[in-house]
Amino acid sequence: MHPTEDFTTIESVFVRHRNALLLRGQFTPLYTDYYLHLMQHGIRHPAELDQMLKDAMTVLVLHLVARPWAETIAWTANLRAPRINLFVTGGSTEEAIAGRIFTEDIREPDRNFLYSQTTSPNLSEPRTSTLEIAGKDPFAWISQFYEQSEQRQARAFRLEDENFALVAAQPDCDMTWLEALDEAAVSKIDSTEETKLLETRRFHFECGCTLEKILPILGSWKNRQDDLFGDADEISIQCPRCAAKYSVSRGLL
């Protein structure tokens, strides 16, 4: 069990008279988990890609709190420049978010695309969607995602001291007010608007992967170990969800 202070707590707040939902939280605990994970597995990202991954995890966490508890959501952004796949996934029930960056063997698209997959015990099969996204800022992608997939407006904001917020329109939302919001207005919304705290959820960076869970991925190589290992007795493989590194020896297959 993680101590409570190791989690990022997200508040879901209803803004009365504006008919908007405010999701907000302070993300330092989650980022600390993330950087400890990178250190543990010897992973270093260029500064630009590191910020993009953190931003993608941030907006997904805020979006998850706007959605039903049981949903698990995975996003993959396939980008032209930089040519990467950016993957993030999380769920409120597990109280966890994870993600990684793929930089090798990436198919170059003619446009940037975001692929979304939602699973839930209430769904007979995953719900998927694909949308074209502009730019390389996940805080802009979330507005595009809401407009195209959620059929409503939403805006994400970077506040001070690693605080972040997402404001999503509800039925009969005051759209003039929503479109005029800026970081200063969101920061002092409790003093300028009538608000009601609906619930809180908490998140930390954790994939839950283990070597035992990853080994089945190599099952097809069991009878072709020389092709997989070459002259080596051991190889390193990465978790497809968080890039954690695991050593695999011939005897494990």
The secondary element (H helix, E strand) that includes residue 51 is helix 47-65
| Average pLDDT rounded to a whole number, residues 4-23 | 94
One-letter-per-residue 3-state SS of 190-217: HHHCCEEEEEEEEEEECCCCCHHHHHHH
According to DSSP, residue 238 is labeled E
84-93: pLDDT as tens digits: 999 999 999 9
pLDDT for res 3: 57
pLDDT for res 235: 85
| Average pLDDT rounded to a whole number, residues 225-253 | 84
Domains of the chain: which residue ranges? Answer: 4-205, 211-252
pLDDT at residue 108 greater than cutoff 70: yes
According to DSSP, residue 99 is labeled E
| Average pLDDT rounded to a whole number, residues 198-216 | 93
pLDDT for res 219: 76
Dihedrals φ, ψ of 174, to 5°? -75, 90
Strands 72-79 and 113-119: antiparallel
pLDDT at residue 4 greater than cutoff 70: no
pLDDT for res 222: 73
Distance CA 177, CA 80 (A): 35
Of the two residues 235 and 191, the one the predictor is more confident about is 191
pLDDT band, very low/low/confident/very high, at 1 (cuts 50, 70, 90): low
> Mean pLDDT score of the chain, rounded to an integer?
93
Of the two residues 230 and 41, the one the predictor is more confident about is 41
* 168, 66 Cβ separation under 8 angstroms: yes
End-to-end CA separation in angstroms for the chain: 31
Dihedrals φ, ψ of 69, to 5°? -55, -40
pLDDT at residue 39 greater than cutoff 60: yes
Q: What does pTM read for this prediction? A: 0.93
pLDDT for res 20: 98
pLDDT for res 174: 98
CATH of domain 4-205: 3.55.30.10
pLDDT band, very low/low/confident/very high, at 96 (cuts 50, 70, 90): very high
Which residues have CB under 8 Å from 128's CB, separation 6+? 115, 116, 117, 118
Mean pLDDT lowest for which of 28-37, 73-82, 161-170, 225-234?
225-234
pLDDT for res 253: 66
